[in-house]
C-alpha cells in the first residue's frame, strides 16, 4: 500500500481549483504570539519570551532564514504544512488511540427488542455505507461549501476519499497513514465484523454482485452464531490496538512472525470499515454512559476488545441500542465524519429497511473467522494491553450535557457569532472554576485551501480574560454596561481570530512550520521553541471543537493533556449539546463541576444580554441596577429586541422569538437555576476529593 502521509492523492474538488494555503508574515505571527501569551505568563516569563521572540524575528536572524525556506516549501508543495501537521497531531503521537485521539459519534439510543433487531440495524447501516462508498468511488459527492463565517467558498474534499480507504499503521517511532491503491480491476471488497472479540471477514461482493441488505443480514446472522461457539473462541487480539502506539507496533511485529497472523492482519488492514456488534454493556444508558462506551468500549469485561482502533471507520451496534461510530482521526476531521454519518442515518430513515420478511436463504459462502496463532509472548502482551485499557476506562471522567435554556438563535439575535459566544462562555466556565486562564485550542477548518485540515483559534484572548474577570470578581465594581462592552469586545476578538484562522493566517501552523523546517535543515532548535512559554502555549488544557449536526447525534472526544478538558459542542437553534471529558486521575479537573460552571456562565451571559437590552435607560444600567432573577429576564428577553449597548437608545421592537421547550427542559431548568452567587461560591469551594 502506498504511504499517504507524504503526498496525498489528487482528488476532484481537492487541489483542483482551490488556492494554496498562504504563509503568514513572520512579524504578524510573532506579534500575535506575544499578544496571545502575555496574560497566560508571569511577568518574568513574559519578559524572557519577549526577548527570545525579538531575537528570533530580528532582521537577518534565524526567523527570516526559516521563513524564506518555508516560502520555497510553499512554492513546491500543494500544502506547505500538511506533512508537518499530520506528523505532529497524529503520527508522532505515541498515546493510545481510545479516548486520547479517536473521536466518536454517538447515535440516538436505539430500542432493539430482540437480538435480531440489532443485526437488522447493522445490515441497514452497512447497506447505506456501501451506497455512500459507491458515491465516493464515482466521485459523485457534491463539493462542500463553507457555512457560517465567510460562507460560500468551496472546500477541499480530499478527506472524504480517505474514509474507507486508509489505515493507520503503527510504527515504533512514527505511525504511517496508508491508502489502498485504486486500480482498474478493484479487489473484491470486504468489511470486518467484530463480534465477541472475534473478527470475521464479510465479503460485500460475491460472484460479482454486491450483497443486498437481506444477504447482509443472512451473513451477520451466521457471524453471530459463529461468534457464540465457545470452542472456537480466540484471544481478544483487538485489545493490542488499544495500547500505546509504540507498544502496539512492537506487538504487531511479534504477531507478524506467524503467517496465520499476517494473513489476518492483512485482511483487517485492507477492509472498508469495521462493524462492531457489541454485547449488552450492563450499564444504565444515558448520553454520558453511551459516550463513554463509544470512546473505550467499556473495558476488557465489556466490549473493549471488540475494536480495531487503527481503522478509521468503526460502526458500533450494541445489543442494548448503544450505537455510533469510532473514528481514527488522522485521515479526516469530525466534520467529514459527520457528513458521512448523517448520510447514513438519513439513508436509514429515508429508505426503510427492506427486511420485511425473513433473511435471505441464498447459498452464500459463510463469512470467515480470522485466525490468530498466539504464543505465550502474545498472551503476555495482551494482558499488558488489557491492563492499560482498564486504567483508561477508570480514568475517563465524562459528562454530556444538553443545555436547553437557549441555542444559537438567541445568540444570533444578540448580533453575535454563536461560536465565538460559546467559546467566551467556555473561558468563563474555566476561569470561574479554576481561577485562571489557560491555553485553549479551538479547531478551525482550513479546507478552503488545497489539502487543508485545521489550524487553531487561541480562544484565551486578553479580551476574554477581561470579561471573565469582570463576571467573576464578586464585587459590583463593574456595571452591566461595562460588562456588556467587555463581552462585545471578547466576541469581536474571538470572531476576528476565527476569520484569521479559517483564511490560513493563524499562528500555530506557522510556528510549527518554522520549528520543523529548522529541524529539517539540521539547525539547532531555535530558542523560541525551547522557551517555557512555548511549552505552556502548547499545553492545551482546554481542547475544544464545534461539531454541529443536523441529525440527532453528538460527537465526543477526550482531553489532550492529563490536567485538561476535551469539550465538544453541538449548537442547535434552541439548545446546545456539550460533551465534556477530563481524567479522574487529575486532582485539578472535574467534568461535572466544569459543566455546572459552564451552565452558570451561559445563564449569566444570557441575563447580562437581556438586562442590557432591556431598557433604554442607560443611566440606570450604569449604576449597576440589574434585574435579579432568571424568570424575570426570561420574560423580558422574550418581549424586547436584544440590542448592542451602542444601540440602546434606538427604538425597541417586539421580539418575535419563541422558546421551544422540550419535556426535559423543565427538569434541566430546575437543576440549574440556583442563585448565581451561591453557585459561584460553591464552585470556588469545590475541591476534588
Ligand atoms: N450576528 C448574527 N448571526 C451571526 C453572527 C452575528 N454577528 N455571526 C455569525 N452569525 C451566524 C452565521 O451567519 C451562521 O449562520 P448559519 O447558522 O445560518 O450558517 C451562524 O451564526 C454560525 O456562525 P458562527 O457561530 O460564527 O460559526 P461558524 O459556523 O462560522 O463556525 C468555526 C466557526 C470556527 C467553528 C468554523 O469555521 C470551523 O472551522 N468549523 C470546523 C471545526 C472543526 O473542524 N471541527 C472538527 C474538528 S475534529
C-alpha cell belonging to residue 418: 454563536
Q: Which long-range contacts (CB under 8 A, 24 or more apart) does 288-293 make?
A: 288/398, 288/399, 288/400, 289/322, 290/106, 290/109, 290/322, 290/324, 291/104, 291/106, 291/398, 291/400, 291/554, 291/556, 291/579, 292/393, 292/396, 292/398, 293/318, 293/322
Longest dimension (CA), the chain: 83
- Structure confidence by residue, pLDDT tens digits, 435-462: 999 999 999 999 999 999 999 999 999 9
Of residues 86, 83, 173, the one with CA closest to residue 517: 83
Mean pLDDT across the stretch 186-208?
A: 92
Task: Find out whether the beta carbon of 616 lies less than 6 Å from any atom of ligand 1.
Answer: no
- Structure confidence by residue, pLDDT tens digits, 637-653: 222 222 323 232 223 32
Confidence of residue 362 (pLDDT cuts 50, 70, 90): low
> 434 an active-site residue?
no
Decide: helix, strand or coil at residue 501: helix
**Count of H-run helices and E-run strands, the chain:** 22, 18
C-alpha cell belonging to residue 112: 432493539
Q: Which of 110-124, 376-390, 662-676 has the lowest mean pLDDT?
A: 662-676
- Give the C-alpha separation, 160 to 10, whole Å: 12
Task: Find out whether the beta carbon of 502 lies less than 6 Å from any atom of ligand 1.
Answer: yes
Residue in 329, 401, 434, 510 annotated catalytic: 329
CA of 490 to the centre of ligand 1 (A): 16
C-alpha cell belonging to residue 85: 501537521
Q: Which pLDDT score, from 0 to 100, does residue 185 have? A: 55
Average pLDDT along the chain: 87
Decide: helix, strand or coil at residue 486: helix
Confidence of residue 674 (pLDDT cuts 50, 70, 90): very low
Residue 657 has pLDDT above 80, yes or no: no
Mean pLDDT across the stretch 17-27?
A: 97
Q: C-alpha angle 630/469/540, rounded to 5°? A: 105
CA 341 to chain CA mean position, Å:
14
CA of 548 to the centre of ligand 1 (A): 10
Closest residue (by CA) to atom 23 of ligand 1? 148
Confidence of residue 15 (pLDDT cuts 50, 70, 90): low
Closest residue (by CA) to atom 22 of ligand 1? 148
CA of 499 to the centre of ligand 1 (A): 10
Residue 624 has pLDDT above 90, yes or no: no
For ligand 1, mutation pick of 146, 418, 424 (most atoms within 8 Å of CB): 418
Residue whose C-alpha cell reads 477508570 in the numeric block: 394
Q: At what angle do helices 62-76 and 26-37 cross, to 10 degrees?
A: 120
Task: Find out whether the beta carbon of 443 lies less than 6 Å from any atom of ligand 1.
Answer: yes
Could you please report the per-residue DSSP string of 401-466? EEE-S--HHHHHHTTS-HHHHHHHHHHHHHHHHHSS---EEEEEE-TTSTT--EEEE----HHHHH
Task: Find out whether the beta carbon of 144 lies less than 6 Å from any atom of ligand 1.
Answer: no
Residue 597 has pLDDT above 80, yes or no: yes
Mean pLDDT across the stretch 253-271?
A: 97
- Give the C-alpha separation, 573 to 575, whole Å: 6
Mean pLDDT across the stretch 332-349?
A: 95
Task: Find out whether the beta carbon of 573 lies less than 6 Å from any atom of ligand 1.
Answer: no
Q: Which atom of ligand 1 is nearest to the CA of 418?
A: 25
Of residues 416, 418, 456, the one with CA closest to residue 439: 456
Residue 14 has pLDDT above 60, yes or no: no
Q: How many residues does the chain have?
A: 689
Closest residue (by CA) to atom 20 of ligand 1? 148
Task: Find out whether the beta carbon of 576 lies less than 6 Å from any atom of ligand 1.
Answer: no
Residue 239 has pLDDT above 80, yes or no: yes
Task: Find out whether the beta carbon of 5 lies less than 6 Å from any atom of ligand 1.
Answer: no
Q: Which pLDDT score, from 0 to 100, does residue 180 have? A: 76
Q: Which pLDDT score, from 0 to 100, does residue 634 have? A: 28
CA 139 to chain CA mean position, Å:
26
Q: Which atom of ligand 1 is nearest to the CA of 422?
A: 25
- 177 compared with 657, residue with greater pLDDT: 177
For ligand 1, mutation pick of 417, 420, 568 (most atoms within 8 Å of CB): 417
For residues 105 and 324, is the Cβ–Cβ distance under 8 A? yes
Task: Find out whether the beta carbon of 488 lies less than 6 Å from any atom of ligand 1.
Answer: no
Mean pLDDT across the stretch 131-144?
A: 93
Residue 82 has pLDDT above 90, yes or no: yes
How many C-beta neighbours within 10 Å does residue 559 have? 25
For ligand 1, mutation pick of 89, 90, 325, 412 (most atoms within 8 Å of CB): 412
Cα atoms found within 13 Å of the Cα of residue 627, Cβ hemisphere only: 20
Task: Find out whether the beta carbon of 572 lies less than 6 Å from any atom of ligand 1.
Answer: no
Task: Find out whether the beta carbon of 466 lies less than 6 Å from any atom of ligand 1.
Answer: no
**Please, which residues bridge with residue 277 across strands?**
195, 317
Closest residue (by CA) to atom 9 of ligand 1? 417
CA of 423 to the centre of ligand 1 (A): 11
How far apart, in Å, are the Cα atoms of 150 and each of 155, 468, 497, 501, 589?
12, 28, 13, 12, 36
- Where would I find the H helices in 297-417? 334-350, 376-395, 408-413
Task: Find out whether the beta carbon of 492 lies less than 6 Å from any atom of ligand 1.
Answer: no
Of residues 533, 520, 654, 603, the one with CA closest to residue 69: 520
Q: Which atom of ligand 1 is nearest to the CA of 413?
A: 2
CA of 547 to the centre of ligand 1 (A): 10
Amino acid at each position: 500500500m502506498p504511504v499517504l502521509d507524504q503526498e496525498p492523492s489528487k482528488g476532484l474538488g481537492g487541489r483542483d481549483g482551490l488556492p494554496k494555503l498562504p504563509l503568514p508574515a513572520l512579524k504578524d505571527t510573532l506579534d500575535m504570539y506575544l499578544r496571545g501569551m502575555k496574560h497566560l505568563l508571569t511577568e518574568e516569563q513574559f519578559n524572557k519570551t519577549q526577548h527570545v521572540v525579538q531575537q528570533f524575528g530580528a532582521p537577518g536572524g534565524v526567523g527570516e532564514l526559516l521563513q524564506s525556506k518555508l516560502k520555497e516549501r510553499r512554492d513546491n508543495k500543494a500544502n506547505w504544512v500538511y506533512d508537518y501537521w499530520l506528523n505532529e497531531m497524529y503520527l508522532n503521537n505515541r498515546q493510545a488511540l481510545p479516548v486520547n485521539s479517536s473521536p466518536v459519534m454517538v447515535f440516538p439510543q436505539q430500542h432493539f427488542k430482540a437480538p435480531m433487531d440489532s443485526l437488522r440495524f447493522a445490515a441497514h447501516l452497512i447497506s447505506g455505507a456501501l451506497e455512500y462508498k459507491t458515491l465516493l468511488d464515482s466521485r459523485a459527492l457534491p463539493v462542500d461549501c463553507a457555512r457560517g463565517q465567510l460562507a460560500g467558498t468551496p472546500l477541499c474534499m480530499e478527506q472524504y476519499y480517505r474514509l474507507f480507504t486508509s489505515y493507520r499503521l503503527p510504527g515504533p517511532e512514527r505511525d504511517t497513514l496508508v491508502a489502498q491503491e485504486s486500480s482498474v480491476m478493484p479487489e473484491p471488497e470486504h468489511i470486518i465484523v467484530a463480534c465477541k472479540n472475534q473478527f470475521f471477514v464479510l465479503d460485500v461482493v460475491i460472484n460479482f454482485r454486491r450483497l443486498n441488505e437481506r444477504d447482509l443480514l443472512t451473513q451477520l446472522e451466521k457471524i453471530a452464531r459463529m461468534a457464540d461457539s465457545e470452542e472456537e473462541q480466540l484471544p481478544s487480539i483487538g485489545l493490542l490496538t488499544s495500547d500505546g502506539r509504540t507498544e502496539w507496533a512492537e506487538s504487531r511485529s511479534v504477531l507478524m512472525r506467524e503467517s496465520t497472523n499476517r494473513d489476518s492482519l492483512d485482511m483487517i488492514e485492507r477492509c472498508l470499515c469495521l462493524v462492531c456488534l457489541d454485547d449488552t454493556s450492563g450499564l444504565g444508558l444515558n448520553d454520558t454512559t453511551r459516550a463513554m462506551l463509544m470512546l473505550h468500549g467499556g473495558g476488557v469485561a465489556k466490549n473493549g476488545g471488540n475494536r480495531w482502533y487503527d481503522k478509521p471507520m468503526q460502526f458500533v451496534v450494541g445489543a442494548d441500542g448503544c450505537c455510533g461510530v469510532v473514528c481514527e482521526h488522522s485521515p479526516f476531521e469530525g466534520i467529514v465524519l459527520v457528513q458521512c454519518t448523517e448520510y447514513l442515518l438519513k439513508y436509514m430513515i429515508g429508505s426503510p429497511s427492506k427486511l420485511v420478511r425473513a433473511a435471505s436463504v441464498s447459498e452464500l459462502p459463510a463469512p470467515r473467522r480470522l485466525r490468530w496463532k498466539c504464543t505465550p509472548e502474545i498472551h503476555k502482551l495482551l494482558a499488558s494491553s488489557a491492563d492499560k485499557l482498564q486504567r483508561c476506562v477508570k480514568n475517563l471522567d465524562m459528562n454530556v450535557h444538553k443545555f436547553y435554556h437557549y441555542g444559537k438563535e438567541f445568540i444570533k439575535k444578540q448580533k453575535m457569532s454563536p461560536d465565538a459566544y460559546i467559546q467566551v462562555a467556555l473561558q468563563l466556565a474555566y476561569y470561574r472554576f479554576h481561577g485562571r486562564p489557560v491555553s485553549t485550542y479551538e479547531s478551525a477548518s482550513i479546507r478552503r485551501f488545497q489539502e487543508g485540515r485545521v489550524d487553531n483559534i487561541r480562544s484565551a484572548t486578553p479580551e476574554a480574560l477581561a470579561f471573565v474577570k469582570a463576571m467573576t470578581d464578586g464585587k459590583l465594581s463593574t456595571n452591566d454596561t461595562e460588562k456588556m462592552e467587555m463581552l462585545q469586545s471578547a466576541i469581536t476578538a474571538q470572531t476576528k481570530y476565527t476569520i484569521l484562522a479559517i483564511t490560513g493566517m493563524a499562528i500555530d501552523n506557522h510556528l510549527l512550520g518554522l520549528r520543523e523546517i529548522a529541524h529539517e535543515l539540521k539547525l539547532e532548535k531555535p530558542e523560541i521553541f525551547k522557551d517555557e512559554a512555548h511549552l505552556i502555549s502548547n499545553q492545551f488544557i482546554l481542547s475544544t471543537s464545534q461539531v454541529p449536526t443536523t441529525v440527532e447525534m453528538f460527537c465526543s472526544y477526550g482531553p489532550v493533556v492529563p490536567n485538561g478538558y476535551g469539550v465538544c459542542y453541538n449548537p442547535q437553534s434552541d439548545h446546545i449539546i456539550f460533551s465534556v471529558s477530563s481524567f479522574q486521575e487529575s486532582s485539578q479537573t472535574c467534568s461535572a463541576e466544569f459543566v455546572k460552571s459552564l451552565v452558570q456562565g451561559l445563564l449569566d451571559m444570557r441575563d447580562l444580554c437581556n438586562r442590557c437590552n432591556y431598557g433604554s435607560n442607560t443611566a440606570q444600567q450604569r449604576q449597576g441596577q440589574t434585574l435579579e432573577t432568571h424568570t424575570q429576564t426570561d420574560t423580558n428577553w422574550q418581549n424586547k429586541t436584544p440590542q448592542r449597548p451602542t444601540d440602546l437608545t434606538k427604538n425597541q421592537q417586539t421580539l418575535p422569538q419563541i422558546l421551544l421547550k422540550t419535556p426535559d427542559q423543565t427538569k434541566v431548568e430546575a437543576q440549574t437555576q440556583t442563585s448565581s452567587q451561591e453557585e459561584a461560591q460553591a464552585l470556588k469551594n469545590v475541591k476534588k476529593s
